[in-house]
Chains A and B, each alone.
Chain A
Amino acid sequence: GDSVTQMEGPVTLSEEAFLTINCTYTATGYPSLFWYVQYPGEGLQLLLKATKADDKGSNKGFEATYRKETTSFHLEKGSVQVSDSAVYFCALSEPPEGFGNEKLTFGTGTRLTIIP
């Protein structure tokens, strides 16, 4: 079955440091890939996505490139801020067979803490 493996946390960085959170996946087809962020006490928010190989998703300074050859979708940010502290989930969705089938398979999440 489908699975997502992401870097275990927690990860602690100083403000303005470079961030990489690794994510690799296993899928039978050609999935769409996502990064979701979860702030304390809140739901999951879509951070960025990519739907096909070599696509780059980007948002709020975060980037991730869909690498089919390495089955990876690593999250990067050049200069993190304290407000980026949250739990980050990598996820995939297989092409749906009809509507209502675009369920997400999540990785285990990586807790990121940025210290001033």
Chain B
Amino acid sequence: AAGVIQSPRHLIKEKRETATLKCYPIPRHDTVYWYQQGPGQDPQFLISFYEKMQSDKGSIPDRFSAQQFSDYHSELNMSSLELGDSALYFCASSLPVPNSPLHFGNGTRLTVT
């Protein structure tokens, strides 16, 4: 079965650089969530989209922005990267049905040096 696809799997950037992470949800899933998981930490909600509109916002820094495109894929743009941004970034998608479970991708591991 098709799963949530994230790219790239690994990304190494230097401080103050920018990074773009991509997420391709499961077909027919029009809701996308982004999470950040620091080393040894639990995943923290960043932002979500439903039908290409931002639907909720969590602890996302102002240096980050995200959007959902017409084909429902989503991109997380990160600027002025800091060492503390090093983390695993997960995307999840779900159907627009109450209590529909979130399906997670394998994540993008971002390392900022």
Contact = CB atoms under 8 A, between A and B. Distances in A.
Interface of A: 32, 34, 36, 41-46, 49, 51, 89, 96, 98-109
B58 A106 contact: no
Interface of B: 4, 31, 33, 35, 41-45, 48-51, 53, 55-56, 58, 90, 92, 94, 96, 98-107
Contact of A41 (B35, B49, B100, B106): B106
A92 to B, nearest CB: 12
Nearest to A111: B40
A96 B98 contact: yes
Given A41-B106, A99-B55, A100-B49, A109 B98 contact: no
7 contacts: A44-B90, A44-B104, A100-B49, A102-B94, A103-B56, A105-B45, A108-B41
A49 B98 CA distance: 13
A110 B45 CA distance: 19
